[in-house]
């Protein structure tokens, strides 16, 4: 059975007639229905009934409904309200603007706004570089999306993407002190998106592209990097590649293999897959076989897509042919950034001894992690309810912190390799274990370590 998740957490307010049972009966009903009870409070009592608030995690929306049905089926129990705790958290949005300076009296207003602010405006007009020193620009990132590839939901549009972009902005602030803001664009035309971002760029110190479908995302990133003098970073590509490399570095340390020795099979040749191949090759991985929907990527599969054509030209040195399952035989490493349930434990059993499996499709990975763990030495997923979560939060806050602090605008392979090394080294040799190859996203040393590594890698003559 699938695991329950805080993402499907509900609070049920039930009224129970006295004499018909106790609050413990409700707890038992939740447990019998497969819910994970997180809290049970008796919110009130009268001469005739108890008011009970029960909070629990479910597997999905349908499972939450079944839990409510189980509670309602108890004798003398009536449900008065069900609150979805995830929706409650999002009410009114997750971020806000807060002034950094006091505005308590006339003097404050005269300096922060008119007439004093005019002097600052004139200074910037005379020297545009002062915008970075005298405004929010030096610490602000635009989180840009067209809503075309949101999580595993697909092309749901910019308005529906906004909760994800708000969450991204909240993570920037929480982990790296970076002020980020969603920029959700009502267009999926490359020229339009590039022009909008270019015209907004004077406000921001960096651009984080997010949830934009391939191949459009490649062209947008390339053109913006050519046009702008601030860093442009597509997290779905480069953030993912950085964390995958960090995790793989530590996984290979455990199994005693080197990048030059291992055979890597990659499932998924979109934005993330392309970036992973590029970064692994930069780090010295030589034998990578990339697979798409039709199996091992062939020249005819690339068509006019220059990015897939690059993958074809820089992978599969042994000329492997066939399906993903065929490619997996005797491989040392599997990396999935594709689709759910493509493989079984039996397929993992055909891999080389001490195999490493990164099944990163979310929320359902390419192979059940428990089935994979029966045959592989190390298993990682993108989920928070299984060990070794490959999470971009380990990369993008510190990466942008380092880029903003260095004042550099060029996102280089050197900086990305430095970030991956810093993340990997946040797990000390004493901590390293089969179920602990990457640090927790809440590890306070990660962001400073990544930021410092990126700053050094981006600064001139360092």
CA distances 412 to 271, 399, 453, Å, are 17, 11, 13
Q: How many CB atoms lie within 10 A of CB 95?
A: 17
- Which of 168, 204, 257, 456 is the catalytic position? 168
Asked if 113 is an active-site residue, the reply is yes
Beta bridge partners of 55: 11, 39
CA 367, CA 325: separation in Å to the nearest integer?
12
* C-alpha span between 171 and 396 (Å, rounded): 9
Q: Are strands 295-296 and 287-292 parallel, antiparallel or unpaired?
A: antiparallel
The answer to whether residue 8 is catalytic is no
113, 137, 204, 456: the active-site residue = 113
Residues with active-site annotation: 113, 168
């Amino acid at each position: 059975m699938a695991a329950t998740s805080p993402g499907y957490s509900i609070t049920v307010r039930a009224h129970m007639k006295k004499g018909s049972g106790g609050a413990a009966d409700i707890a038992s009903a939740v447990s019998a229905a497969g819910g994970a009870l997180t809290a049970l409070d008796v919110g009130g009592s009268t001469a005739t009934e108890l008011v009970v608030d029960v909070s629990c995690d479910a597997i999905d929306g349908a499972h939450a409904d079944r839990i409510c049905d189980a509670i309602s089926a108890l004798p003398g129990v009536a449900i008065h309200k069900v609150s979805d705790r995830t929706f409650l958290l999002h009410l009114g949005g997750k971020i806000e603007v807060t002034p950094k300076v006091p505005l308590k009296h006339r003097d404050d207003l005269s300096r922060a706004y008119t007439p004093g602010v005019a002097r600052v405006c004139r200074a910037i007009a005379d020297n545009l570089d002062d915008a970075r020193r005298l405004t929010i620009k030096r610490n602000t990132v635009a989180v840009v999306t067209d809503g075309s590839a949101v999580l595993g939901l697909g092309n749901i549009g910019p308005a529906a993407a906004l909760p994800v972009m708000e969450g991204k902005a909240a993570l920037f602030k929480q982990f790296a002190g970076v002020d980020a803001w969603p920029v959700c664009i009502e267009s999926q035309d490359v020229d339009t998106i590039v022009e909008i971002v270019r015209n907004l760029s004077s406000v921001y110190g960096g651009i984080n592209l997010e949830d934009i479908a391939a191949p459009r995302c490649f062209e947008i990133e390339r053109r913006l990097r050519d046009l702008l003098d601030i860093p442009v970073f597509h997290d779905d590509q480069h953030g993912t590649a950085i964390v995958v490399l960090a995790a793989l570095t530590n996984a290979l340390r455990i199994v005693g293999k080197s990048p030059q020795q291992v055979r890597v099979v990659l499932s998924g040749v979109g934005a993330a897959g392309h970036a992973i191949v590029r970064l692994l090759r930069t780090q010295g991985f030589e034998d990578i076989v990339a697979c798409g929907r039709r199996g091992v990527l062939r020249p005819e599969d690339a068509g006019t897509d220059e990015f897939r054509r690059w993958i074809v030209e820089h992978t599969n040195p042994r000329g492997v042919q066939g399906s993903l399952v065929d490619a997996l035989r005797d491989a040392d490493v599997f990396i999935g950034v594709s689709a759910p349930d493509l493989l079984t434990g039996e397929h993992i059993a055909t891999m080389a001894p001490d195999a490493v499996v990164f099944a990163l499709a979310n929320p359902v990975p390419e192979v059940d992690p428990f089935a994979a763990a029966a045959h592989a030495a190390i298993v990682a997923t993108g989920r928070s309810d299984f060990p070794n979560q490959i999470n971009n939060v380990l990369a993008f806050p510190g990466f942008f912190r380092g880029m903003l602090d260095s004042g550099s605008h060029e996102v280089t392979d050197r900086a990305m390799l430095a970030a991956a090394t810093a993340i990997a080294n946040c797990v000390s040799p004493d901590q390293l274990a089969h179920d602990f190859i990457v640090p927790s996203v809440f590890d306070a040393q990660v962001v400073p370590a990544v930021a410092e590594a990126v700053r050094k890698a981006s600064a001139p003559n360092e």
